[in-house]
Structure 1
Amino acid sequence: MLTDTKIKTAKAADKPYRLTDSEGLFLHVMTTGKRYWRVRYRSNGKEQTLTLGSYPELGLKDARHMRDKAKEMLKSGIDPNQNEKLLAVQSDTREVDTFELVAREWFDLRKDLWRPRHAHDVINSLERDVFPLIGSLPPSKITARLTLHVLKQIEERGAVETAHRIRQRMSEIFVHAIATDRCDADPAQTVRAALRPVQRGRQPAITSLEAVREMIGRVEADAAHPVTLLAFRLLYLTAVRPGEVRGALWSEFHGLDTDEAVWIIPPERMKMKKEHIVPLVPEAVAVVQALKPFSERWPHLFPNARRPKLPMSENAIGYLINRSGYHGQHVPHGFRSTFSSIMNERYPQDHNFIELMLAHAPKDKVSSAYNRALHLEKRRSLAKIWCDIIMEGQVSTLTLVSGKRKASQ
């Protein structure tokens, strides 16, 4: 490894030569006596050389620091040669306002306007997905290319909705930086069209936690029949398919007076033709218990108002949502996307359990062979977390039912 003394005493020769340090770093001594720090690395299977700066303007310690930063960029999938200016500012960002500093300043200005849980979601998403990659850089040095790289990392783990949400937050931070004279452009706005579009298809869904809580509050304030409101609540608490709620039978519910209450949906009522076990948290049990005065004498939890031996109309929950002003924005089936988006964003390590809770078919034959009743306690734990998240700010089941006695659904 090099020392300051060895570098200072290096003399020019008839041919350029190298003084090797470590991990690809070397000092290139030219015939003119000029000395340049360079680092060798491999990208896409080819050896590359990156010039870091000249000596003595750039000392040994700083050259090693820049070499380490270049290695970090390689691990993130970025070729340092394509970001030389970006790499240069990484050598010392202490004297400038970094993206993380500006982002936290922006967050502090807004957090009191948000619910605590939403504020936590915002800063947690930045700390998890953005700050590790570009947090140390000044906003003025962050390019559209690097911004897109950050967002593509999120996309690649299947969190397309999250990528769009974080892009919007980054854009607001850049706008704040522009307003406070820390940069001149918003690269997050520039890359908007380069993100993978959110595939909503024919099932529109609200996937923002704050927005879905607001929607639930508005829907449950409707003067609808209690049975319809309870069906709506059981739907968003369990994230099962609307048809599975609509056709729910009293015989499918077990252990309602225990801590291990479950809803066992038989194969003939499941899309994948396999039995599905739904762990019921206390709030979901309260919904089922609240239905007893209305429908316990009938086969279904949610009987049709005019023909009670049949299940409720397949349009009842959808009409309830539409009446509350959400036509074209959210459908009953959309709660599955809501659940998947929010829980996968918060708990990406539990993706397989979340898929199991949605009764999605495993993609490989080995996974498809395991017993779908396994991991019930883990799924119950996640169901409770989901319940606490989605129910924040909502009325109790008793309040939801009392005083609402519309004649029909």
Structure 2
Amino acid sequence: MPLTDTAIRALKPAEKSTKYFDGGGLYLEVAPGGGKWWRLKYRFQGKEKRISFGVYPTIGLKEARERREEAKRLIAQGVDPSAQRQAIKASFTSAEADSFEVVTREWFDKHVVNLAPSYAKKVRSLFDRQIFPAVGAKPIAEVEPTDILNAARRVEQTGAIETAHRLIQICGQVFRYAIATGRTKYDVSTGLHAALPKVNVKHMAALTDKKRIGQLLRAIDTYGGFFPMRCALRLAPLLFVRPGELQKAEWAEFDLTAKEWRLPASKMKMRQRHIVPLSRQTLSILAELQPYTGNGRFLFPSIRTEAKPISIESMLVAIRSMGFTKDEMTMHGFRGMASTLLNEMGYNRDWIERQLAHGERDHVRAAYNYAEHLPERRRMMQNWADYLDSLKAAKD
């Protein structure tokens, strides 16, 4: 006899699973624990098979019968209901695996080693807030240019135009990764930069007037503040590394015999090792500093604790106290000063760029060329130190 809702509700579990048939292969299986499962027994291509329709009462008698009839129609068309269900499930799984968010996080995990930790954190936060809520669940092959542009415009409306451009740039890297891994065919971020306002590039103030540079160098030499601070300021124009690299310089990184400062990749903006040749003038300053801080970790420890280095802000305050305004000079300005004058002096641009540790687009090549042009750079760095001495001495 066909089942009824009243009869089903009255069914009690037995010691073993019990089947109650409704007809057409549909039956309700009552487990010893009380669970009631709808199942369909059918034959396909000569083989007996079974498929589950869900649990009663979530799936009621009427819906179970509808599913039975749909399965019978598929069988009549030569389609195995069980195989079709597996194919549908696989398609959903594939779509999830190829979603924009999954592909982006996969790309990120592979490329985070090339990013500074602070920058990597910003990128993650940017995507978590601006991209994933809107299109993260979409298969990456179905993401439209407008999806990315709308997210970038939301960032632009906050005034962060440079960040909006960066979002599009990183999306482009994700799409190119998806193309390489067979998830999509197109980089839909191409050309989107043109739809945003241009970024107004702010150049760090840097002295390039030779007379004014000489005045700054003499002012640093007579600075009467914290001695490690004075040494840091004296080394800044000689080494012209990034302010954070100078600030966090450690004695363990210096090979005074080889006359080299060897910065590990973890400290560099481009995540590549870097060598700074040390001039005679630099070695002389380090010899003066070593009795003060040589037994600690940092060359320039904070005045309050040796566990932390001095702050970049305190170096800026010292420069301001010498009479040099923010429109004239910044700590980053020592790099601009060196770049401008070394180019004017006719040095090979490749030597200068390598000494500035500017980014190499080819990360594989960059991993091996940290010592590129090193003999030439040694001569350039010594000549640069001699040139700074001449500027300092030329009081006229």
How high is the TM-score relative to the length of structure 1?
0.45
Query: TM-score, length-normalised on structure 2?
Result: 0.46
